[in-house]
Amino acid sequence: MGAPVIAATALSTRTGRKILIGATLVFLLGTGFILMPLIAIPFAISGASATANQPVSNTELPSVSGEWGYPLAGDYAKGRGFGYHPVEGCSYCKSDHRGYDMDQPCGATVFAAGPGRVTVAGAYFDYGNAVVIDHGGGLITIYGHMQWESLRVGVGDEVSAGTPLGAEGSTGRSSGCHLHFEVRDSGVRIDPEPFMANLGLPLK
């Protein structure tokens, strides 16, 4: 009973009202100051961990020629080329390589090579985490072995040369980080080297 009476008495005077308002403000400011880290820190950690699998920031964009461009920006090391490339010391391994391997450090951004629509974004046979782009006219390109949870596109997305697809990784049948770049024309795998060279984008 005492507290409401005291409060009512205090509110009846100007000084009392000032003291109450001041005390309330100090309480609110203090509470906000103390609670802010409890709210901000979990969100900050969540944001940081969620972005950990994102592609390495790549300020460089791939070179383009017309509507097409390289699937990686900057220099890269050539891995296995297209065609007969047996796996050293393994008679139970396929000797035929269906694409063109390009090596940059793990996490490097992989880009769409040309305009089209994404038809696959996710696990894709031995390509691991992959993106398949339908460029129309029976032409498709495949970008294999990207890191899990790194894809920036989804099925149905329209992309163009230079659209970031994901981060280079080693998922699926791969023994090290690299991009498996594959081109199919009317369902037939073709050599990416002459294909890209004809577009003014010679590979190594």
Q: How many binding residues for other proteins (CB under 8 A)? A: 51
11 touches other proteins by CB under 8 A = no
140 touches other proteins by CB under 8 A = no
19 touches other proteins by CB under 8 A = no
Q: Which of 6, 7, 20, 22 binds other proteins (CB under 8 A)?
A: 22
Q: What CA–CA distances, in Å, run from 133 to 39, 62, 121, 156, 181?
A: 41, 17, 9, 9, 11
Q: Which of 44, 56, 77, 197 binds other proteins (CB under 8 A)?
A: 44
Per CB under 8 A, which region of 4-12, 89-97, 98-106, 184-192 contacts other proteins? 89-97
32 touches other proteins by CB under 8 A = yes
CA–CA separation, 15 and 162 (whole Å): 68
Q: Which of 3, 5, 34, 92 binds other proteins (CB under 8 A)?
A: 92
Q: What CA–CA distances, in Å, run from 24 to 6, 16, 20, 32, 84?
A: 16, 12, 6, 12, 79
Nearer to other proteins, 27 or 202 (CB): 27
Site string for other proteins, 108-127 (x = CB under 8 A): -----------xxxxxxxx-
Per CB under 8 A, which region of 64-72, 76-84, 109-117, 172-180 contacts other proteins? 172-180
Q: Which of 11, 28, 56, 77 binds other proteins (CB under 8 A)?
A: 28
Helix (H, G, I), strand (E, B) or coil at 152: coil
Which residues are within 8 A (CB) of 144 and not within 5 positions of it... i.e. 6 or more apart? Answer: 99, 124, 127, 128, 130, 172, 174, 179, 180, 181, 182
8 touches other proteins by CB under 8 A = no
* 78-106 b/e (C-beta count within 10 Å ≥ 16 → b): ebebbeeeeeeeeeeeeeebbbbbbbbee
* 50-61 b/e (C-beta count within 10 Å ≥ 16 → b): eeeebbeebeee
Q: List interacting residues with other proteins (CB under 8 A).
A: 18, 21-22, 25, 28-29, 32-33, 36, 39-40, 43-44, 46-47, 50-51, 54, 87-94, 119-126, 128-129, 132, 148-149, 151-155, 170-176
